Amino acid sequence: MRWLGELYELPEPPDERLDGFEQPVLIIAGRQDAVVGYQDQQNLSELFPHATCAVLDQAGHNVHLDQPQTVRELLRNWLRRMEP
């Protein structure tokens, strides 16, 4: 556990290296996520000109398990946007 705790955060946030990424981006967060939270994800989405940021109520850290149908539809929409 100590070893995992030491490696929990990235040594350098990748956010600035991704600034201006021009492809569709999908960020899904759970409003009740007690591990990561959702506000940082909303801020991250601002770096991408073609981002969708969905914050789902009644969903925690495992948003894909808490809201599987909604996550599935969001992923389908993102995949359609990825088609050439």
Domain ranges of the chain: 23-82
Which residues of the chain fall short of a pLDDT of 70?
Answer: 4, 8, 10-15
What's the pLDDT at 1? 72
What's the pLDDT at 13? 67
3-class secondary structure, 63: helix
Which pTM was predicted? 0.80
Angstrom distances, CA of residue 55 to CA of 10, 31, 33, 48: 23, 6, 10, 16
